[in-house]
Structure 1
Amino acid sequence: MAEIVRRISGRFQTSTESFLGVIEIDPNSGRIASVQKGRLIESPSREDLCFDPDKVVIFSGFGDIHVHAREDETGKHIYKEDFLSVGLAAINGGVIHIADMPNNPVPPTDDQTYSRKRSLADRSPVRITLYAGIGPKTKPLSLNVPYKAFMGPSVGELFFHSNEQLEDTIRHYEGKNVSFHCEDPEILEKHQTELLHEDRRPPEAETLATDFALYLIEKYNLKGKLCHYSTGEGLQKIVKAKQKGISVTCEATPTHLYFDRTMLTDENRHWFQMNPPLRGPQDKAELIRGIREGWIDYLATDHAPHSVEEKRKGTSGISQLDTYSLFVTWLHREAEISLQKIAEICAENPGTFVNEFLPEEYGKGFGKPETGYCASFTVLDFYTPTTFRKENIRSKSGWSPFEGTTFPGSIVAVFHRGVRVK
């Protein structure tokens, strides 16, 4: 569905207010030309779209800043996903921009490998921000980009074997935007013979790595982000760091907010294997409370589209980009997260994260229904249930942990730069 729109009206939601309004779109730039609050379109034309303010909510377009799109110059992993399919899965999930992780066969760790991957990513139907990888002995790029450091072994070869090796590299990235996968390599090695995946990657692997990541963020003045957070104890460390004034933000995934370890069985365990693994019910409750109280900054999927065959063999990672916005309806209706907070963690904060890395054509960027920002919107109905089925999946992975789940709401429409794409 590619439909050019000139004006959108209805009820708009931000982190600070809900307002009736009309947004006019510049068709040449795909940006917001004007915002008229306190009114609706009275006589719509063919290029206007009016949404019932009593039934649906219009957010600035959602962004998922932690996705594994899998494509690089080798093409080795495009059977899992590629930049086209990940864009279609994003749109299907009500997401209009994503940020892709660097653990590829040829990781983007210098200007040349990054630029080659950038040219591939530009084929996607949504905007893709690319992380550059940090690995042993890498150095910062000349470009302004976000970086990702895997503190311990995960999927791929871009990781560190010790904290000393990590710090020896991080000291070159002083002042940069660096995201950390927090799992302590020595703890992982110590527990590698445990029977269950959850025990091989215990909570202390995350909490100890959190201590070291926070130390690095403070010492090297990093703009730090801790990825896919899973433990309540570790979250309290982040809270104290924020209160201390350390520049750190963190993510939580739908799977860590919806599922927990008590739900695992011998039949489903391989589908829910991921890094970090599912934790206990109390950890899940603490993460939801962390969103409610403002300590978690992003809803990010860690979309890891492995094939059905790989999952059956025990590969870690969960495919969940297709259900991003449907999960948001659960987050509001069942977990009682306010619409203001949803606008913050799904639209505004992801926009703020990527906007400094966007080319000029995107204007002020994503995240706010304000003049000069991209005319990208996610429109949701929180009261018309949707049952998500296997045939609804657009990711190449072909599976989802939410197959058969009935969510309390539905996706009404998705707009990207003035064009209706769903």
Structure 2
Amino acid sequence: MIIQGTLASSSGTLNSQIRVEGAYIVEVGPNLGEADYSFSGDCFIFAGMGDIHIHARDDVGESQTYKEDFCTAGAAAINGGVVHVADMPNNPVPPITDESYQEKTQHLKKRNPAVHFTLYAGIGPGTNPLSFAVPYKAYMGPSVGDLFFKTLEQLDETLSRYRGCDVSFHCEDPVLLEQHAAAMTHEEKRPAECEISATRFALQMIEKYELKGKLCHYSVGEGLPLIREARSRGVKVTCEVTPHHLYFDQSDLTDQNRGKMQMNPPLRTIADRKAMLDALREGTLDYLATDHAPHTLEENEQGISGQPHLDTYGAFVTWLILDQKFTPEQAARFCSENPGDFVNPYVSPKKFGRIEPGYTASLTVLNMKQPVTIRREDLKTKCGWSPFEGITFPGSVEAVFIEGEKVR
């Protein structure tokens, strides 16, 4: 099979062809032959985009699958142009041991979703590393679920056993969260100082235990210099940012939408939102990762935090490129290449993130001239809603290839 069009990577854009055999790319270049699929100059062909922070809500207990499962999350991912995802471990039955991780892995295989899933293992009080390499997630303070630490000292003691591991951090200081627990609004209960304090501590832990660290869903502009300074000293840390922290801020909150607009960490100031856009553009932030958190609308109204974003990933990227003036090269870096680099140590023989021979033939094609209005009836997530409903993005997902097969 030969695919033709404008290929986008961090090194530039080029009209070229891709030859695919089976599930893999075998050749890239001009004049490879007659194209089976040819995309116009209105489109960019990216190495398949990856969302390395989602909550599929599925585990062996299946107690939360009324709002999402591996298969519906996979369908939402394809709808949003995403070809691989990484699922967080804060399940009712958390994957924190060899046995519980393998049980979740086997449950995933039985589901057989349409996209590839990488599974995080959880780090909680008293846990130990698994006997095989996996990415880990540490919740520094209360989020959705019970897998979190009550003090930073408790986290330090536990992380001493994870030296050299790949650890992602939910950065909110549990002690400061407790101090603000009686505040009036969700935003005041989880203020910026909680994230900044936790950032300092996470960076200390990453350096102390030689971790391959990642800071999740970053949202506070004041924390960015801390990250840059740590990197300048050789600390191995990367950072995510979500669509909601790039698009919404506290000025968008109303009494009517507070339930739908609640997440952890919460929406920040206009200045913070603009700082996240700038940091993503210049590379301090490394991944567009949605923190896809499917809950029912009734649950959101009851105060459960999180928004679903898989269905709208690709359309949102067109907003970044066309309205916020990101380049296709920048989008390729934080949507395709960096997410691929993150999961590739754990997905062999698959290999995501680049349009090069030997890589998995999973591709995302975005049409820059075909706007899309987000409608509830077009969503594939089981929870059935989006914070972007009624919003028109300037482009849309044109096609998706998964392991050599066109699935959209």
Alignment TM class, shorter chain as reference: over 0.9
Matches within 5 A, 1:266-345: 266-345=255-334
2:340 matched residue in structure 1: 351
Give the secondary structure class of the aligned counterpart of 1:356: helix
The question of 1:161 aligning with 2:150 is answered yes
Deviations 1:144-185 (A, max 9, x none): 100000000000000000011000000000000000000000
**Cα deviations by residue, 1:5-46 (Å, 9 ceiling, x for unpaired):** x1101110100121121111112xx0001111x4475x44xx
Pick aligned residue for 1:171 from 141, 160, 166: 160
Aligned equivalents of 1:317, 1:55: Cα separation in 2: 34
1:90 deviates by 0.4
Give the match for residue 377 of structure 2: 391
For 1:115-134, what aligned pairs fall within 5 Å after superposition? 115-122=102-109, 123-134=112-123
Q: Does 1:181 align with 2:170?
A: yes
Equivalent residue runs for 1:86-97 within 5 Å: 86-97=73-84
Describe the SS at the equivalent of 1:195.
coil
Q: Deviations over 1:217-238 (max 9, x none)?
A: 0000000000000000012211
What corresponds to 1:141 in structure 2?
130
Tell me which residue corresponds to 1:12.
7
In structure 1, what is the Cα distance between the partners aligned to 2:185 and 2:93? 31
> Any idea what the Cα deviations from partners look like across 1:57-115, whole Å, max 9, x if unmatched?
10000000000001001010000110000000000000000000000011000111001
Give, as a single letter, the amino acid of the residue that structure 2 aligns with 1:320: H
Question: Which residue of structure 2 lines up, in the alignment, with residue 50 of structure 1?
Answer: 38
Percent identity, aligned pairs only, is 53
Per-residue CA shift, 1:330-358, capped at 9, x if unaligned?
01111111110100000000000000001
Query: 1:26 matched to which residue of 2?
Result: 21
The letter of the residue matching 1:297 is D
Q: 1:237-292: CA deviations, max 9, x gaps?
A: 11111122110000000000000001100000110100000000000010000011
Match of 1:237 in 2: 226
* One-letter identity of the residue aligned with 2:46: F
Structure 2 unaligned regions, length at least 5:
none
Query: Match for residue 237 of structure 2?
Result: 248
2:182 to 167, 175, 193: 193
1:415 to 391, 401, 404: 401
1:173 aligned counterpart, secondary structure:
coil
Let me know the Cα RMSD of the aligned residues.
0.9
1:239·1:295 contact (CA, 8 Å) conserved in 2? yes
Q: Match of 2:72?
A: 85
Equivalent position amino acid for 1:55 in 2: D
CA distance in 2, matches of 1:330, 1:241: 31
2:86 aligns with one of 91, 95, 99:
99
Deviation at 1:359, TM superposition (A): 3.2
- Give SS of 2:279's match: helix
Q: How many corresponding residue pairs?
A: 406
* Residue in structure 2 matched with residue 61 of structure 1 by the alignment: 48
Q: Which amino acid aligns with 2:37?
A: L
Contact 1:225 1:249 in 2 (8 A): yes
TM-score by length of 1: 0.95
- Deviation for aligned residue 1:383: 2.1
Aligned residue among 90, 101, 113 for 1:114: 101
Indicate the SS of the match to 1:172: coil
3-state SS of the aligned residue for 2:137?
Answer: strand
CA distance in 2, matches of 1:321, 1:333: 20
CA separation of 1:198 and 1:17: change in aligned 2, threshold 3 A:
same
Post-superposition CA distance 1:374-401 (Å, at most 9, x none): 0010001112211110111100111100
Aligned partner of 1:218 among 200, 207, 214: 207
Q: Which runs of 4+ in 1 moved over 4 A?
A: none
SS in 1 for 2:146: coil
| TM-score (norm: length of structure 2) | 0.98
Counterpart CA distance in 2 for 1:91 and 1:391 is 16
Task: Name stretches of at least 5 consecutive residues in structure 1 with no aligned partner.
Answer: 1-5
Give the letter aligned to residue 272 of structure 1.
Answer: M
Task: Give the Cα–Cα distance (whole angstroms) in 2 for the partners of residues 167 and 388 of structure 1.
Answer: 43
Q: Which SS does the other structure have where 2:161 is aligned? A: helix
SS at match of 1:10: strand
CA–CA distance in structure 2, aligned partners of residues 235 and 103 of structure 1: 26
Report if the CA contact (8 A) 1:351-1:367 is conserved.
yes
